[in-house]
Amino acid sequence: MWDDVASVPHVGLARWADLIIVAPATADLLARAAIGRADDLLAATLLTATCPVLLAPAMHTEMWEHPATRANVETLRSRGVQVIEPAIGRLTGGDSGPGRLPEPTELMRLVEASLQPTVRDLEGRTLVVSVGGTREPLDPVRYLGNRSSGRQGFAVAERAHTRGARVTVVRAHVEVPTPVGLQVIDVETAEQLHRVMLAEQAGADVVVMAAAVADFRPESSAATKIKKVDDQEPDPVILVRNPDVLMDLVRDRRDGQVIVGFAAETSASTDDLLALGRAKITRKGCDLLVVNDVAGERVFGQPVNDAYVLSRSEDGPTLLAHVSGSKVEVADTILDEIAKRLPARSG
């Protein structure tokens, strides 16, 4: 860069590239890119680039989780840089945790997905997507919660937005940053989620229930913290049923509206998983059901997913697709099926 200043290599490289991927992206590189340093060829090229940029972080877990790195990642993402989640596994030096560079095949998949021209096939459509896990209070400090990082729901929302849709996210508790460009309504409990989803359904072309909703809530929530008393057994917690949001959305469905449910199941085999999925789509009555096997930490909080997409039809449930890949790829497969089902627009 400094030997051949006249040819400005960083400008040449940045203009020539269709996409830039930095793999591995160190904590130091993330920090330097976030503040816009330009003191070596890589940093200067990143600062000049207008093409898509993909950063694949790799570092020790402590560095990845440090607030400084978290802030840098958020800054980069807010500018449209795709900072992917590192894999969880063996790190340099022998310890393990989040921070491992994803496998080259996974990186290649992301590169290919980033280079796909984006079809704006959802232009003018309105999507409502619920994400995250609800929390049902027991007392002011405790709750019954449902596991869900929000990643898959956010991927659907983000890709729908990129494909032209107006997207409202109804956000329960999530563990990852919310993508930019979406309208957000926060909720805490299943009952709040129920109220907001039914209200938002009225103006929506598509409703996606990606949230993990608590089926039960404590009958009452104590006004003050429940204290333990020596030598006394705790009071049992009485649970009552929550409404089934998805079934009520299906009941109130308006003409042409597409309703999508998710099913997180634990099963011994793919056949069992699909049997559970078929029974669930029939019971819930939604148009599409995305089924995944969540046994053994394979899905929750991970950037990748392995999902089956089922549809409801007159002859019974049909398996439309099996997609194994990033949550973005799963989101695109779901949106492809949604787009096929939307009625053509008049005028």
Residues forming the site for ligand CTP (CB under 6 A): 190, 209, 211, 213, 215, 242, 244-246, 261-264
State the DSSP string of 172-232.
-B-SSPPPTT-EEEE--SHHHHHHHHHHHHTT-SEEEE-SB--SEEES---SSPPPP-TT-
Residue with tokens 């793919």, as numbered in its chain: 270
| Nearest distance in Å: CB 145, ligand CTP | 13
| Nearest distance in Å: CB 128, ligand CTP | 12
Clarify whether 146 is annotated catalytic.
Answer: yes
Q: Toward ligand CTP, which CB reaches closer, 45 or 146?
A: 146
Catalytic residue among 72, 146, 292, 305: 146
Q: Toward ligand CTP, which CB reaches closer, 119 or 321?
A: 321
| Nearest distance in Å: CB 146, ligand CTP | 8
**Residues in CB range of 320: below 8 A, 6 or more apart:** 288, 309, 310, 311, 337
| Nearest distance in Å: CB 247, ligand CTP | 7
Q: Toward ligand CTP, which CB reaches closer, 188 or 244?
A: 244
Contact 87, 101 (CB under 8 A): yes
Q: Toward ligand CTP, which CB reaches closer, 84 or 172?
A: 172
| 71/66 Cα distance (integer angstroms) | 9
Contact 327, 151 (CB under 8 A): yes
Nearest by Cα to 148 from 127, 121, 171, 168: 171
| Nearest distance in Å: CB 121, ligand CTP | 23
Nearest residue to the partner ligand CTP, using Cβ: 245
Residue 296 gets the label, from left (phi > 0), alpha (psi -120 to 50) or beta, of left
Contact 69, 79 (CB under 8 A): no
| 273/70 Cα distance (integer angstroms) | 36
Q: Toward ligand CTP, which CB reaches closer, 69 or 292?
A: 292
Catalytic positions, please? 146
